[in-house]
A = this chain, B = another copy of it.
Amino acid sequence: MSVDSVKRPPSGPRAELKRQAILRAARELFLREGFGVGMDSIAAEAGVSKVTVYNHFGSKEALFTSVITSALDEPLAGESSAALEGLADAGDLRAALVEAARTWVHAVRANHEVTALRNLVAAELHRFPELGEAWRHRGTEGHHPAVAGALRTLADQGRLVIPDLQVAVIQFYGLLVFPHVVFSSYGTQIDEDLTDRLITGGVDMFLAHYGTQST
């Protein structure tokens, strides 16, 4: 009998499959029912014994944390910040901005799941304050640099005049992304047509204020 009472999580190929199945199920049920969902339901949905769930994750809170942090790695960083990179070389800045914004907003809208997870984290802030912070880092502060960098570059090129970068970044979000975030937190969505008008209108407005003749 080993004195070592620490329960290591299972390893091996078989265990990894179960782990993924549990994460998938937990994510889906947390999204559908909130944190209040029972561990039995999650185990059942994953097609796995409850004991296995506990062997892997140790507690409900740990499972929730794993679901969130695993979701933190996947999403929109790729396409959307890539779209921002190309801005500096674009001939037609307006068209390029519209295109970038379109990519970005569609990434946000397409991921029902990620947006819904954001709401879930917000809902459980009092139970998991550290998750709120983690999400804030990856989300807002994670993209700030990309947006800020793109805007600064354009300003350095003389194609934009931006006296207050911090404000400009938030305005960029406010015009393009926040409407979708806010509406989704009510459980509704902005329809396709209005989304499109918001994008072109937002870019127009942004350029009307910050653009120069060389735009």
User: A188 contacts which chain B residues (CB < 8 A)?
Assistant: 136
Q: How many residues on A have C-beta within 8 angstroms of the other chain's C-beta atoms? A: 42
- Check if B181 sits within 8 Å of A166, measured CB to CB: no
In residues 138-164 of chain A, which contact B (Cβ within 8 Å)?
140, 164
A48 to chain B, nearest CB (A): 24
Which of A136, A178, A202 has the most C-beta atoms of chain B within 10 angstroms of its own C-beta? Answer: A178
- Check if B166 sits within 8 Å of A175, measured CB to CB: no
A47 to chain B, nearest CB (A): 24
Expressed in whole angstroms, the Cα–Cα distance for A168 and B198 within the complex equals 9
Determine the main DSSP class of A at the interface with B.
helix
A30 to chain B, nearest CB (A): 11
A163 to chain B, nearest CB (A): 9
Which of A75-83, A86-94, A104-112, A119-127 faces chain B?
A119-127
- Check if B125 sits within 8 Å of A122, measured CB to CB: no
A149 to chain B, nearest CB (A): 20
- Check if B185 sits within 8 Å of A185, measured CB to CB: yes
- Check if B33 sits within 8 Å of A126, measured CB to CB: yes
